C-alpha cells in the first residue's frame, strides 16, 4: 500500500480508536450505521479465491464469475432480504390459474451500459441464446419446461410452459443479455468469441466494467444511469488472491475490505481490538450443507437400519466443533433452517452408540473379529469413504466419521481424490464406483430438489448418484415441482423432509455458517436470511471515512 493512503488509514484508525475511547463514535456498532448520512464515493475492495472465467455469467458455472456478473447484470427478478422474490427488471408479473402462463411487465427507461434501451426483445433473446444448441450454458435445465417466450409489447413478455414448473419465476433471475450486441455471435454458435465475454461486457447492472487483468483483478465503476439510482460506492475492485491465508493477511493489513473468514480465523484469530475496530464480523447460515452419502445399490447400505445406525454413531456436536469450531448447525434434511420448506418439527438424530450397535445387530452384524470389526458371512465391515481434495472441512469430517464408526466396529478407509477424477471415475460413472462419499449440496431459494432425489434422475449425467428410489418421495417431488401455490407446496415439502429424515438416504450432517468480515467504514449492511448482499447497491461510506479518493 503506498504511503499516503496508508497514512490516511492510520489516521482514520487512530481517530477511531480515540473516538472509541469516548464511546460516541459513528463507527461503533451496527445500530448507528443507519444514522450516518449516505454519501457517494470511495472504493470497496473484495477478495476472491477463484479466477473469473468469463464476463457472461450465463455460460459459466464458477462462483467468482457469477459474483462479478451480479455487479454488472440484472435478472427480471431477484431475492430480497428474507429470500422472497422481488422485482428487478420486471416490475410486476402474473401467473395464470393453471400455472402454465407467466406474464411479466418490464420496467421502462432501463438502459444498457452502452445507452441502448432494454426491451422485451432482450428477454426473448436471452432465452433463445441460452437454449441455442451451440451455446455452452450449464443452466438450460431451468428452462426445459418452457414452451415459448414471446414479447407481447415493448415492455411485456409472456412465457408459456409445457407443464407447471415451480421454479418458473425464480428461473427469471437469470442475467439478461443484450440482443443488439450478441445476436450475431449466438446465431453462429460463437458466443465465446464475443467481446462481451472478456473485454467489453455490457449489462444493465449497477456497475459498469472498467478493466480486468487476468488472474489479478476486475474493476467496475458505478453506473450513474442505474434504474435504482446510482450506487453509493463508486468503484469496486475484485482482487483475485488464490490463497485463503494471504487473503486473511491482506485483511489484517487493510489491503482488502471484504473477505470471508474461516471458522478458525473467526473464532480465534480476530478477537483483538485493532481488528474489531477496523472490521465487523457477520455470521449467517450459508445455503450449503454437507452430507455423508451412500451407494444405495450396495446391499450393505441398502438396509435402512445400517444408515440409521451410522447416523446414531456420529456425535453432531463433536462434528460441528471439530470441523467448523461450532459455527454451523445440525442438518436434519435438505432444507435450510428457517426456510419455509423446512419442517421445524423434525428433530436431529441423537448420538447413541448403543442404539447404533443394536441396529447393526438387527441388520445381521453381530459377530466381531480379532481387530474388533463387525463381520458378516466372514467379511469384516470395511468400506471406502471418498471425498474431494482441496476441501479441508470435508477431510476433517471424514476423519471424525472414521473415528466414530471405528467405535462401533466399522472400518472406514478414507480416499481423497482430485475433483475431476472423483467426478468422472466414481460419481458420474454408471454403475457408481463408490461405497460412500462426503460431499455437499448448495441449495437455492426454491426448495425443488427433483434432480437430486427423484428415481428417474439416476442416469449417467444426472445427479441422483446415490440411487435413491422411494415412490413416496417421487410423488412429493413431482407434486412440489408442478404447483405454483406456496400454501400447497409447504405441505409437500414438509412431508418430504419427514420421509428423507426417516429414510436417511444420506446422513445430513450440517449447515456451515458464512463468516464474512467487512470494513467498518462501510455502512448500510442489513443481514438477513438471504445474507448480506441483497442490498449491496445501498452500501455506502460516510464522507469523512472515504479511504480511496482517487478516481
Partner 1 sequence: MLAYALRRLLLAIPLLIGITFISFVVIHLAPGDPVEVQTGDLSQQQSAKAYQALREMYELDKPLHVQYWKWLSRLVRLDFGKSFAPHGRPVLTMIAERLPITLLLNVVEMLIIVALAIPIGVLSATRQYSTFDKVTTIFVFVGFATPDFWLALLLMILFGVQLGWLPISGLRSLNWEYLTFWQQQVDFLSHLALPVLVATFGGLAGFSRYMRQSMLEVVRQDYIQSARAKGLAERVVIGKHALRNALLPIVTILGLSLPGLIGGSVIVEWIFAIPGMGQLMVQAAFERDYPVLMGNLVIVSSLTLFANLMADLAYSLVDPRIRVSRRRR
Partner 2 sequence: MRAFWRAFSRNRLAIVGGVIVTCLALLAIMAPAIAPWDPNRPDVRKILDPPSGRHLLGTDQLGRDVLSRMLFGARVSLAVGFVSVGIAATIGILLGSAAGYHGGAVDASIMRVVDLMLVFPRFFLLLAVLAFLKPSIWTIMAVIGLTGWMGVARLVRAEFLALKEREFVVWSQSIGASASRIIWRHILPNAMAPVLVAMTLGIPAAILTESGLSFLGLGVQPPHATWGNILNEGKDAIELAWWLSVYPGLAILVTVLSYNLLGEGIRDALDPRLRQSAGRVVSRGR
- The residues in 223-242 that bind partner 1, with binding defined as CB under 8 A, are 237, 239-242
Q: Which residues contact 353 (CB under 8 A, 6 or more apart)?
A: 312, 313, 407, 408
> What 3-state class would DSSP assign to 89?
coil
Asked if 271 interacts with partner 2 (CB under 8 A), we say: no
469 lines the binding site for partner 1 (CB under 8 A): no
CB 180 within 8 A of CB 129: no
DSSP letters, 360-415, are HHHTT--EE-TTS-EEETTEE-EEEEEEETT-HHHHHHHHHHHHHHHHTT-EEEEE
- If 0-12 CB within 10 Å is exposed, 13-18 middle and 19+ buried, where does residue 411 land? middle
Question: Residue 160: helix, strand or coil by DSSP?
Answer: strand
Interface with partner 1, residue 415, by CB under 8 A: no
Is 54 one of the binding residues for partner 1 (CB under 8 A)?
A: yes
Give the one residue of 10, 18, 86, 403 binding partner 2; rule: CB under 8 A. 403
- When asked if residue 548 is in the footprint of partner 1 (CB under 8 A), the reply is yes
Interface with partner 1 includes 154 (CB under 8 A)? Answer: no
Stretch that binds partner 1, among 99-107, 139-147, 308-316, 367-375 (CB under 8 A): 139-147
Binds partner 1 (CB under 8 A): choice among 36, 42, 43, 113: 43
Bridge partners (DSSP) listed for residue 388: 417
Q: Does 78 bind partner 1 (CB under 8 A)?
A: no
> Which SS3 state, helix, strand or coil, does residue 30 take?
helix
Say which entry of partner 2, partner 1, none residue 370 contacts (CB below 5 to 8 A, set by partner kind).
none
Among 35, 94, 97, 442, interactor with partner 1 by CB under 8 A: 442
**Rounded to the nearest whole angstrom, what is the least distance from the CB of residue 24 to partner 1 in the complex?**
29
Nearest to 164 by CA among 176, 147, 189: 147
Only one residue has cell 464511546, namely 23
Choose the stretch contacting partner 2; rule: CB under 8 A; options: 206-214, 232-240, 397-405, 463-471. Answer: 397-405
Q: What is the DSSP letter of 219?
A: E
Q: What does the alpha-carbon distance between residue 142 and residue 161 come to, in Å, rounded to a whole number?
A: 12
Per-residue mark of binding to partner 2, 322-361 (x: CB under 8 A)? x--x------------------------------------
431 preceded by cis ω (within 30°)?
yes
Contact between 144 and partner 2 per CB under 8 A: no
Query: Considering the rule CB under 8 A, would residue 390 count as an interface residue with partner 2?
Result: yes
- Please identify, using beta-carbon distances, which residue of 254 and 380 lies nearer to partner 1: 254
**Should residue 455 be labelled a site residue for partner 1 when binding is judged by CB under 8 A?**
no
| Residue linked to cell 472441512 | 393
Quick one: which of 84, 114, 413, 472 contacts partner 2 (CB under 8 A)? 413
Choose the one of partner 2, partner 1, none that binds residue 318, judging by a C-beta under 5 to 8 angstroms depending on kind.
Answer: partner 2
Do residues 166 and 446 touch, judged by C-beta distance below 8 A?
yes
Distance CA 237, CA 214 (A): 13
Q: Which residues bind partner 2 (CB under 8 A)?
A: 244-245, 262, 264, 268-269, 318, 321-322, 325, 388-390, 392, 395-396, 398-400, 402-403, 413-418, 421, 425
Amino acid at each position: 500500500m503506498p504511503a499516503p493512503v496508508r497514512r490516511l488509514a492510520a489516521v482514520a484508525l487512530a481517530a477511531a480508536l480515540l473516538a472509541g475511547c469516548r464511546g460516541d463514535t459513528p463507527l461503533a456498532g451496527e445500530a448507528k450505521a443507519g444514522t450516518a448520512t449516505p454519501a457517494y464515493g470511495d472504493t470497496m475492495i473484495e477478495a476472491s479465491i477463484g479466477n473469473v472465467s468469463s464476463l457472461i455469467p450465463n455460460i459459466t458455472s464458477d462462483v467468482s464469475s457469477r459474483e462479478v456478473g451480479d455487479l454488472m447484470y440484472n435478472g427480471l427478478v431477484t431475492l430480497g432480504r428474507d429470500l422472497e422474490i422481488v422485482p428487478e427488471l420486471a416490475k410486476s408479473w402474473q401467473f395464470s390459474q393453471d400455472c402454465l402462463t407467466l406474464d411479466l411487465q418490464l420496467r421502462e427507461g432501463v438502459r444498457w451500459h452502452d445507452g441502448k434501451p432494454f426491451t422485451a426483445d432482450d428477454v426473448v433473446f436471452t432465452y433463445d441464446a441460452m437454449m441455442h444448441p451451440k451455446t455452452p450454458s450449464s443452466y438450460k435445465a431451468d428452462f426445459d419446461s418452457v414452451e415459448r417466450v414471446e414479447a407481447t409489447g415493448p415492455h411485456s413478455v409472456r412465457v408459456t410452459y409445457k407443464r407447471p414448473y415451480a421454479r418458473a419465476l425464480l428461473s427469471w433471475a437469470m442475467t439478461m443479455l443484450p440482443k443488439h450486441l450478441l445476436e450475431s455471435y449466438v446465431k453462429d454458435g460463437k458466443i465465446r468469441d464475443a467481446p462481451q465475454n472478456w473485454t467489453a461486457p455490457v449489462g444493465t447492472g449497477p456497475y459498469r466494467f472498467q478493466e480486468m487483468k487476468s488472474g489479478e483483478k476486475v474493476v467496475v465503476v458505478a453506473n450513474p444511469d442505474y434504474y435504482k439510482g446510482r450506487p453509493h460506492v463508486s468503484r469496486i475492485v475484485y482482487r483475485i488472491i488464490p490463497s485463503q491465508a494471504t487473503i486473511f493477511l491482506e485483511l489484517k493489513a487493510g489491503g482488502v475490505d471484504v473477505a470471508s473468514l474461516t471458522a478458525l480465523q473467526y473464532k480465534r484469530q480476530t478477537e483483538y481490538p485493532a481488528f474489531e475496530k477496523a472490521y465487523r464480523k457477520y455470521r449467517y447460515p450459508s445455503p450449503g450443507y454437507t452430507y455423508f452419502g451412500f451407494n444405495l445399490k450396495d446391499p450393505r447400505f441398502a438396509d435402512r437400519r445400517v444408515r440409521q445406525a451410522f447416523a446414531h454413531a456420529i456425535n453432531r456436536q463433536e462434528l460441528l466443533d471439530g470441523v467448523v469450531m461450532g459455527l454451523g448447525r445440525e442438518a436434519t434434511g435438505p432444507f435450510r433452517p428457517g426456510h419455509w420448506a423446512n419442517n421445524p418439527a423434525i428433530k436431529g438424530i441423537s448420538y447413541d452408540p448403543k442404539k447404533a450397535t443394536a441396529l447393526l445387530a438387527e441388520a445381521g452384524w453381530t459377530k466381531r473379529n480379532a481387530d474388533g470389526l463387525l463381520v458378516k458371512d466372514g467379511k469384516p465391515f470395511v468400506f471406502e469413504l471418498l471425498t474431494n481434495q482441496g476441501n479441508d472441512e470435508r477431510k476433517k469430517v471424514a476423519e471424525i466419521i472414521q473415528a466414530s464408526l471405528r467405535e462401533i466396529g466399522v472400518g472406514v478407509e478414507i480416499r481423497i481424490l482430485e475433483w475431476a477424477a472423483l467426478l468422472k471415475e466414481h460419481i458420474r460413472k454408471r454403475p457408481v464406483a463408490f461405497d460412500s462419499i462426503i460431499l455437499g449440496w448448495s441449495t437455492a431459494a426454491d426448495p425443488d430438489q427433483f434432480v437430486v432425489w427423484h428415481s428417474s434422475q439416476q442416469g449417467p449425467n444426472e445427479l441422483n448418484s446415490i440411487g435413491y428410489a422411494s415412490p413416496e418421495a417421487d410423488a412429493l417431488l413431482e407434486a412440489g415441482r408442478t404447483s405454483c401455490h406456496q400454501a400447497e407446496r409447504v405441505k409437500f415439502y414438509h412431508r418430504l423432509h419427514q420421509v428423507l429424515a426417516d429414510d436417511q438416504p444420506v446422513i445430513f450432517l450440517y449447515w456451515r455458517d458464512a463468516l464474512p468480515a467487512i470494513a467498518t467504514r462501510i455502512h448500510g449492511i442489513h443481514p438477513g436470511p438471504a445474507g448480506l448482499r441483497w442490498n449491496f447497491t445501498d452500501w455506502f461510506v460516510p464522507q469523512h471515512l472515504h479511504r480511496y479518493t482517487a478516481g
